[in-house]
């Protein structure tokens, strides 16, 4: 009986200690969970405030509604071209500066042509290709290289063409792939020949579309600037309008030289015809005329009784009287 009484208090004490331990563990766990939850929420709130400092004010102003996000616009493809005519003092220096500006912008120099007129004025026309994002910068630099005489700029939006070509390329590639699958499955020679012809046609169409896509990409990624450079004419010193002796001599000498030049030109133009005529005359006198038969000399008048008497002139009255006196 004593043994049973001693065992029961020990079991009861152990149960009380276990219950107390479980209670303490639950309290500490709940305290830790609440503390960690509150800490996590504080950290999240602080990060949200740092990420969007004006979000709370916007929500308060908008009644707690979120602002709608802006729609994403499609990428535009624009072909930019410009024509500039600039008058400069030195064409080679201005041309070198234009080349440098184009290369520094990441572009390149295309076609170039240089000419010089009778007065010695030099003129150069060059085609420049520059990236589209540096187009305005290079254009402004070229305009400031001298006196701007003329400017023409054009922008053409080809976004629809680019999208259409891309869509057609995808469709054409899928068509080519289907034809190749059919060729792999074909067993008859006639089917293979027919499919090969169809594949060649569709492959050619695909290559044409790819070439057009490359052309559009080149024209939209690089702007074209046609630059015309001409030298600035030298300003002559103002002189009196009244001509002087030297001006008269210079004008007369110029007229004489001009007249002499025209005479020489006329003689040079007539000289071939004169040479031909002289040759014909020489041939006539040396070879043709000596060989022609000569005409006989005219004979005197005669009759069967002999030569006819020649008529004597009639004597004058005055001379006959003088002759009688003399006789």
Which of 163, 166, 160, 159 minimizes the C-alpha distance to 206? 166
Pairwise CA distance, residues 124 & 87, whole Å = 11
Burial of 203 (0-12, 13-18, 19+ CB in 10 A): middle
Pairwise CA distance, residues 122 & 141, whole Å = 21
pLDDT at 7 over 80: no
- Asked which of 201, 218, 235 is the last residue of a domain, the reply is 218
Claim to verify: residue 142 and residue 184 sit in the same structural domain:
no
Domain limits for position 176: 160-218
Residues 209-223 have a mean pLDDT of 92
Pairwise CA distance, residues 266 & 260, whole Å = 10
Q: Is 64 left (phi over 0), alpha (psi -120 to 50) or beta?
A: left
Residues 188-194 have a mean pLDDT of 86
**Residue 97: inside a domain:** yes
Claim to verify: residue 195 and residue 151 sit in the same structural domain:
no
Please give the pLDDT value at position 16. 54
Pairwise CA distance, residues 151 & 186, whole Å = 62
**Residue 95: inside a domain:** yes
Please give the pLDDT value at position 319. 53
Pairwise CA distance, residues 164 & 213, whole Å = 10
Please give the pLDDT value at position 283. 87
**Residue 35: pLDDT band by 50, 70, 90 thresholds?**
very low
Pairwise CA distance, residues 109 & 224, whole Å = 10
**Residue 50: inside a domain:** no
Claim to verify: residue 204 and residue 139 sit in the same structural domain:
no
Please give the pLDDT value at position 130. 93
Pairing of strands 78-88, 222-231: parallel
pLDDT at 279 over 60: yes
Is residue 128 a contact partner of residue 80, using CB atoms and an 8 Å limit?
no
Q: Mind giving me the DSSP string for 198-251?
A: HHHHHHHHHHHHHHHHHHHHHHHHEEEEEEEEEEPPPPPPP--SS--HHHHHHH
**Residue 284: inside a domain:** no
Helix (H, G, I), strand (E, B) or coil at 325: helix
Claim to verify: residue 165 and residue 107 sit in the same structural domain:
no
Residues 231-253 have a mean pLDDT of 65
* Least-confidence region, from 55-59, 149-153, 156-160, 245-249: 55-59
**Residue 104: inside a domain:** yes
pLDDT at 227 over 90: yes
Claim to verify: residue 153 and residue 188 sit in the same structural domain:
no
**Residue 269: inside a domain:** no
Please give the pLDDT value at position 231. 83
Element (H, E) at 151: strand 147-157
Is residue 81 a contact partner of residue 224, using CB atoms and an 8 Å limit?
yes
Claim to verify: residue 174 and residue 149 sit in the same structural domain:
no
Claim to verify: residue 121 and residue 148 sit in the same structural domain:
yes
The CATH number linked to 126 is 3.30.70
- Asked which of 198, 218, 238 is the last residue of a domain, the reply is 218
Claim to verify: residue 90 and residue 144 sit in the same structural domain:
yes
Claim to verify: residue 173 and residue 146 sit in the same structural domain:
no
pLDDT at 30 over 90: no
Q: How far is CA 307 from CA 296, 297, 314, in A?
A: 20, 18, 21
**What are 77-91's pLDDT values in tens digits?**
899 999 999 999 888
Q: How far is CA 105 from CA 23, 112, 190, in A?
A: 77, 19, 57
Q: Is 0.75 surpassed by the pTM of this model?
A: no
Claim to verify: residue 83 and residue 150 sit in the same structural domain:
yes
pLDDT over 90 percentage in the chain: 30
Ranges of H-type helices in 77-127: 91-104
**What are 106-143's pLDDT values in tens digits?**
999 988 888 887 777 788 999 999 999 999 999 999 98
**Residue 201: inside a domain:** yes
- Asked which of 105, 133, 157 is the last residue of a domain, the reply is 157
Number of domains in the chain: 2
Q: List % helix, strand, coil for the chain (3-state, nearest 5).
A: 60, 15, 20
Claim to verify: residue 84 and residue 150 sit in the same structural domain:
yes
**Residue 242: inside a domain:** no
Phi then psi dihedrals of residue 111, to 5 deg: -70, 145
């Amino acid at each position: 009986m004593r043994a049973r009484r001693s065992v029961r208090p020990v079991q009861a004490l152990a149960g009380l200690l276990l219950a107390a331990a479980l209670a303490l563990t639950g309290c500490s766990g709940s305290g830790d969970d609440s503390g960690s939850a509150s800490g996590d929420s504080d950290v999240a709130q602080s990060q949200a405030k740092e990420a969007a400092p004006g979000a709370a004010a916007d929500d308060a102003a908008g009644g707690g509604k979120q602002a709608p996000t802006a729609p994403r616009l499609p990428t535009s493809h624009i072909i930019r071209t410009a024509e500039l005519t600039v008058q400069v003092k030195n064409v080679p220096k201005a041309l070198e500066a234009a080349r440098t500006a184009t290369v520094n912008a990441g572009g390149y120099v295309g076609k170039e042509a240089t000419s010089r007129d009778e007065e010695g004025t030099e003129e150069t026309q060059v085609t420049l290709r520059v990236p589209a994002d540096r187009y305005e910068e290079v254009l402004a630099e070229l305009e400031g290289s001298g006196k701007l005489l003329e400017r023409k700029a054009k922008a053409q939006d080809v976004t629809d063409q680019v999208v259409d070509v891309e869509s057609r390329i995808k469709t054409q590639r899928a068509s080519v792939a289907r034809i190749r699958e059919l060729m792999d499955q074909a067993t008859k020679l006639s089917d293979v020949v027919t499919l090969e012809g169809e594949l060649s046609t569709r492959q050619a169409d695909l290559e044409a579309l790819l070439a057009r896509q490359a052309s559009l990409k080149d024209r939209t990624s690089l702007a074209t600037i046609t630059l015309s450079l001409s030298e600035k004419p030298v300003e002559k010193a103002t002189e009196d309008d009244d001509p002087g002796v030297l001006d008269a001599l210079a004008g007369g000498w110029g007229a004489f030289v001009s007249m002499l030049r025209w005479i020489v030109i006329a003689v040079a133009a007539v000289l071939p015809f004169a040479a031909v005529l002289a040759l014909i005359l020489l041939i006539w006198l040396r070879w043709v005329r000596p060989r022609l038969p000569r005409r006989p000399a005219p004979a005197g008048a005669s009759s069967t009784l002999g030569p006819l008497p020649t008529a004597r002139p009639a004597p004058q009255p005055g001379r006959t009287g003088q002759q009688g006196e003399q006789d």
